[in-house]
Structure 1
Amino acid sequence: MATFDSTTLTGAPRVTVRLPPFWAEQPAIWFAQAEAQFPLANIGDEQTKFYYTISQPDQRYAARVAPPVHIPYATLRAVAVGRLTPSKERRIYQIITVEEMGDRKPWQFLGHLRTLAPDMPEYIMRPIWASRLPPQIREYSLAKMSARTFPDRPVPATREATPSTFVHSDLKKCTHVFLRRVTTSRALELTYSGPYQVLSRKDKSMQILVRGRLATVSTDRVKPAYLLNETGRGTTTKTFNPAADETPTAVPHAVPPQHVQRTTRSGRHVHFADCFNS
Structure 2
Amino acid sequence: MEGADQQNGGDVNAAAVKLPTFWRNTAEFWFIQAESQFRMKKVTNKITQFDHVVSRLNQEDAKTVIDILKTTPTNDSYQALKDRLLQKCTLSTSQRCARLLAMPGLGDRKPSDLMDEMRALKPEDETEGPLFREIFLQQLPGDIRVHLVNITDCKELAI
Would the TM-score normalized by the shorter structure come out above 0.5? Answer: yes
Distance 1:85 1:130 in 2: 26
Q: Distance in 2 between matches of 1:125 and 1:34?
A: 31
Task: Give the conservation status (yes or no) of the 8 Å contact 1:27–1:85.
Answer: yes
By percentage of residues, which structure has more strand? 1
Change (3 A) 1:59 1:99: farther
C-alpha distance in structure 2 between counterparts of 1:48 and 1:114, whole Å: 33
Matches within 5 A, 1:53-92: 53-69=53-69, 70=71, 71=73, 72-92=77-97
Matched, 1:136 2:143: yes
Cα gap change, 1:73 to 1:96, in 2 (>3 Å): same
Residue pair 2:103, 2:139 contacting (<8 A) in 1 also: no
> In 1, Cα distance between the equivalents of 2:107 and 2:66?
34
Specify whether residues 41 and 106 from structure 1 end up closer, same or farther in structure 2 by C-alpha distance, changes over 3 A only: closer
Quickly say closer, same or farther: Cα 1:66–1:96, change in 2 above 3 A: farther
Q: 2:134 aligns with which of 127, 150, 160?
A: 127
Partner of 2:3: none
Q: Distance in 2 between matches of 1:44 and 1:26?
A: 24
What corresponds to 2:44 in structure 1?
Answer: 44
1:32–1:114 Cα change, 3 Å:
closer
Residues 87 and 52 from structure 1, CA distance in 2 versus in 1: closer, same or farther, beyond 3 angstroms? same
Give the TM-score normalised by the residue count of structure 2: 0.70
Please state whether the residue corresponding to 2:63 is helix, strand or coil.
Answer: helix
Greater share of residues in helix: 2
Higher relative contact order (CA closer than 8 Å, sequence separation 6+): 2
RMSD (CA atoms): 2.7
Offset at 1:75? Answer: 1.0
CA shift, 1:36, in A, is 1.8
Map 1:170-249; keep pairs closer than 5 Å: none
Give 1:19 shift. Answer: 0.9
Unmatched runs of 5 consecutive residues or more in structure 1: 1-9, 150-278
Question: Post-superposition, which runs of at least 4 consecutive aligned residues in structure 1 deviate over 6 A?
Answer: none
Q: Which amino acid aligns with 1:74?
A: Q
Find the structure with the greater CA-based Rg.
1
| Local SS of the residue matching 1:19 | coil
